[in-house]
Amino acid sequence: MELPYIEPFKTKMVENVPVSTKEQRKQWIEECQFNLFKLSSDKVTIDLLTDSGTGAMSDKQWAEIMLGDESYAGSLSYHKLKDTIEELLGFEYFLPTHQGRAAENVLFSVLVKDGDIVPGNSHFDTTKGHIEFRKAKAVDVTIDEAFDTSVYHPFKGNLDLNKLEKVLQENPKEKIPLILITITNNTAGGQPVSMQNMREVSALGKKYGVPVFIDAARYAENAYFIKVREDGYADKSIKEIILEMFSYAEGCTMSSKKDGIVNIGGFIGLRSQETFRQASTFNIIYEGFITYGGMAGRDMGALAQGLRESAEFSYLESRIGQVAFLGSKLKEFGIPVQEPFGGHAIFVDAKKMLPNVPQKEYTAQLLAVELYIEAGIRGVEIGILLADRDPETRENRYPKLEMVRLAIPRRVYSNNHMEYVAVALKNVFDRREELKSGFTIIWEAPIMRHFTVELERIEKKDLLFSNQSKNLELVTNELEV
């Protein structure tokens, strides 16, 4: 008999899971103006808000915490991390930052200016925010297959080469500071980018004189998908695949809280000494000296170890396998999800799940709130709230996909927890016909509003009053005629 699969780790410490009643959760989420970010963690049973900084570190990572060198300049922990990044990713120059959006802030302070255009595959919220904050424009050139959750494509994160070349042809290269490849493509459902696509994007960049940069938050998961899905890579090691991926880029930003398996940290990797020198000035202004950049030495040591662990096939097989386990359970229940399953999360198609709720009423946010009320599970909306308003018209942007992301922390939950999540979502699915109205915004920030937005329910009586008003208007118009 063949031995069953086991996780490539064992538990050394446990943390109690908070439990609550449905009535308590209804009260708590209402007090938070239906914003799941505002909930305190003791009111959440299973937290799938994000996989960023929520993973469990290994014994070797905790050992690095004790070995941390906290020297202000020239820390040995810095050199350990620098050597790891050069070995794994191939970048000679490197700047530590306290997290990924800080890396974006520093790099874009050098590269992006007013009126610029940054093409890429579904820029994530902070990336787009940093671009638009500088009065530049993020242009999404993701392949069309990414926006149909039922279509199977092994690399839905790919950039559409025709869309990209159209942007490059129609704009002077001085207005395009970089092409951005996000691996994996979070906004489209944690979908990977193929090696062939990265190679071809790099070739287009060279043809038009525009450098390629990578948002590397989940680069190891992307390498895993290349190994198991792309022809010619089955016999390559994860480390070999990683080196080739980054060979097609001039630099990268990374939120190390994802595939670095740490609770804080980020970095910029660069080939150009000149770009490194310019970025160093902004790093010192915004983050700290260039050999710590807002990170403690102990955290740099833990990150160096985490980067090595995330490049192990056994770890990736376990991690991505758990995501697929949840996805398979949801499919069994008939719940519409983005397929194929992504690397770090399952994305539920809220439009298909709640067809009676119009997108303008924040369908995915309603689904996320109902899932929390049902079972204390906190997910996150990836839809109209996150898409934010157009910076010029201030009108809501309506993305093609309206989804709830269930992001799974690394090495934290068991498959029993995933079963609980699946059944809870099925319970919401079973009462979907009861859900006919969503939310309206009562307060929002001018940019990246989803983190702090305040909402209120659109009650049925409000809808009735609205319909009565429309009917009265029709009758009045007829009388005037």
Cis peptide before 340 (omega within 30 of 0): yes
Which of the residues 215, 259, 299, 349 is marked catalytic?
215
Known active-site residue 215: yes
Which of the residues 116, 125, 160, 349 is marked catalytic?
125
Q: Mention every residue, 6+ apart, whose C-beta is less than 8 A from residue 149.
A: 189, 336, 337, 338, 339, 347, 349, 352, 401, 403
Q: What are phi and psi of 456, to 5 degrees?
A: -140, 150
- How many residues in total does the chain contain? 481
- Confirm if 233 and 195 have CB atoms less than 8 A apart: yes
Which of the residues 136, 216, 217, 249 is marked catalytic?
217
Q: Looking up tokens 């930003």, which residue turns up?
A: 253
Cis peptide before 184 (omega within 30 of 0): yes
Which of the residues 258, 329, 344, 417 is marked catalytic?
258
Known active-site residue 56: no
Known active-site residue 125: yes
Q: How is 417-466 classified by DSSP, letter by letter?
A: HHHHHHHHHHHHHHTGGG----EEEEE--SSSGGGT-EEEE--HHHHHHH
- Confirm if 201 and 354 have CB atoms less than 8 A apart: no
Which of the residues 72, 333, 398, 465 is marked catalytic?
72
Known active-site residue 217: yes
Known active-site residue 72: yes
Q: Looking up tokens 């909402």, which residue turns up?
A: 455
Which of the residues 34, 108, 124, 233 is marked catalytic?
124
Known active-site residue 124: yes
Which of the residues 156, 227, 351, 450 is marked catalytic?
450
Alpha carbon distance 480, 4 (integer Å): 77
Active site residues: 72, 124-125, 215, 217, 258, 450
